[in-house]
Structure 1
Amino acid sequence: MQDSPEPRTREAVDWWLNQWRLDDVASGNEPLSRENIKKLICVNGGHGAGLDLSFRNLHAADLSECNLRETCLRGADLGHTDLRDADLFRADLREADLFRADLRGTFMREAQMERIFLAGVRIDEQTDLADISWGQKHINEWEKIGFYGNARAVYRQLFTWHKNRGYSDVAGEFLYRDWVCRRLEAQSALSDGISWRSPWRIPGALNLLWWKALTAFLFLATFELLFGYGERPFRVCFAAALVVLVFGVIYFLYPLSELGPLGSADLSSRLWHSFYFSLVSFTTLGYGGWVGHPDSWIRSLGSIESFIGLFITAMFLVTFTRKWTR
């Protein structure tokens, strides 16, 4: 059959399915079976490279031990599919639905899995998820549509797999996404307790669960901004710079001349010494004899900045060490 097209486009696959009188399968009313996939692989030269199965219905199909290397499965319904020991090297699985798929022993190295639906999948020690392209920021599609519980379950599963195999950087990204979903869950719970038609009325204000959600949200949002839940150590540097800047401005605006160099009439000199005073307070190195005798208000403010500086410095050391020694 010289005019027979290779099944590397959706139209060519439809042509073959119609030739085999599988009109319901071609229309998506019935799922592709194992036999259908093997036939398509056979007419594709005995391999899955280039085979276009995008947006096909493969629900609950038995694809165990199938050679689907470099196969296009974008947007395919692979829910409850048996993919045990299948070869999906460099397969295109973007936007595919793998809900409760069996991936035990599946070789998925370098597969494209951006915006994929993963939940309840079964993996084991033989499953190979190395070097997979998860997309920008490793965001799972469940998170995008607001199913944070499903997203967290996926992130924890992927975090454990990558951590156990030494892929610490990738594992850290999934751990970060898990914490982000916790914050989004708390944020969603807060929104449920607010009527946007009457935002000054908070029905959940007398609800203990609402207050717990508010507390959780504030803590999680603060930790995310400050150090990214331990995965963004350089955010601590920005937080430190912001604290020094804010306190430096306060010292500069303080009007009393008894602060020594801080009370200088020269604005440029006063500005420099104000930020230097703020930096020394932040690092708790001591002022020496150049400041004079500031009043109790300034000493109290300097003590507060010193406490914040100690906390942020310790946070940076712990986060940096944890990040780079894994």
Structure 2
Amino acid sequence: DAHLEGAYLFDAYLEGAYLLDTHLEGANLSSAHLEGAYLFDAKFSPDTKLEDADWGNYILGWEKKGHFGIAEGVYRCLKLWYTTAGMYDIAAKFYYREKEANRKGLKLFSKSSWNHRLAAEFMRAVFGYGEQWLNILFLIAVVIFGLAAAYYFWGSFSSSSFWDTLYYSAVSFTALGYGQWAPQPTGWAKVAGAAEAIIGVFMMALLLVTFVRKWTR
């Protein structure tokens, strides 16, 4: 319960420091080194200065210790402070850590939370909780090239060229329409192409939403 209101802590080395219930209203923490600090119930105010604070990899002490519920609350507090200050890139880092702490706190084999844990795992892997649009681009490439390879090795097409099956996969994914020059599949490849179109519409929409959310803040 330390009172550090208005304290000048510029460039202070506070890595791993226990600042539980510390009053930091109006304190100057600019360029302070806060990697791994314990900030449970620390009090910040709009005039607290956290500009250029060094958070390292943004993983704070409570998460490292496995206290994910406490870590989630601390990350949420810092996310809100940086959002209010207009520092959206840093706020996004703490939003990601908040969601990670929430995911880690969900037990995979618990009857009451396994479905939430699986949903969190999906959101983390596919689009990084809305913060990592490059994840979606990577998955799009995996789907297109992976199915193109499957069509080439195991499918039955009017053309045996890999580039033709890649074209068929890309056009199926984007649902643009095949055209008369597209290779004509038979058997399971037709069904796979239809399924790929549905997956493609979903993933393109997800990419657009994530991209817009990331770059219009």
**Equivalent residue, structure 2, for 1:283:** 174
2:19 to 98, 105, 111: 98
2:76 to 156, 169, 181: 156
Corresponding position: 1:172 with 2:92: yes
Contact 1:162–1:168 at 8 Å: present in 2 too?
Answer: yes
Corresponding position: 1:246 with 2:146: yes
Q: Partners in 2 of 1:160 and 1:176 — Cα distance?
A: 13
Q: Partners in 1 of 2:150 and 2:102 — Cα distance?
A: 36
Contact 1:260–1:291 at 8 Å: present in 2 too?
Answer: no
Contact 1:89–1:109 at 8 Å: present in 2 too?
Answer: yes
Instruction: Give the Å deviation of 1:292.
Output: 5.7
Contact 1:260–1:290 at 8 Å: present in 2 too?
Answer: no
Which of structures 1 and 2 has the bigger CA Rg? Answer: 1
1:187-202 aligned within 5 A? 189-190=107-108, 193=109
Instruction: Give the Å deviation of 1:293.
Output: 4.6
Q: Give the superposed CA RMSD.
A: 1.4
**Equivalent residue, structure 2, for 1:235:** 135
Taking structure 1 as the reference length, what is the TM-score of the superposition? Answer: 0.64
* Percent identity for Structure 1 against Structure 2: 36
Structure 1 residue runs of 5 or longer lacking an equivalent are: 1-79, 194-209, 265-269
| C-alpha spacing 1:254/1:121, structure 2 compared with 1 (3 Å) | same
Structure 2 residue runs of 5 or longer lacking an equivalent are: none
Q: Partners in 1 of 2:118 and 2:51 — Cα distance?
A: 35
Instruction: Give the Å deviation of 1:242.
Output: 0.7
1:219 to 119, 134, 158: 119
1:115-126 aligned within 5 A? 115-126=36-47
**Equivalent residue, structure 1, for 2:195:** 304
**Equivalent residue, structure 2, for 1:65:** none
Taking structure 2 as the reference length, what is the TM-score of the superposition? Answer: 0.95
Q: CA deviation digits over 1:161-211, x for unaligned, max 9?
A: 00001000000000000111111112xx23xx5xxxxxxxxxxxxxxxx23
Bigger relative CO (Cα 8 Å, ≥ 6 apart):
2
User: Quick one: which amino acid aligns to residue 164 of structure 1?
Assistant: T
The alignment of Structure 1 onto Structure 2 pairs a total of residues equal to: 217
**Equivalent residue, structure 2, for 1:144:** 64
Instruction: Give the Å deviation of 1:106.
Output: 1.0
Corresponding position: 1:260 with 2:158: yes
Contact 2:164–2:182 at 8 Å: present in 1 too?
Answer: no
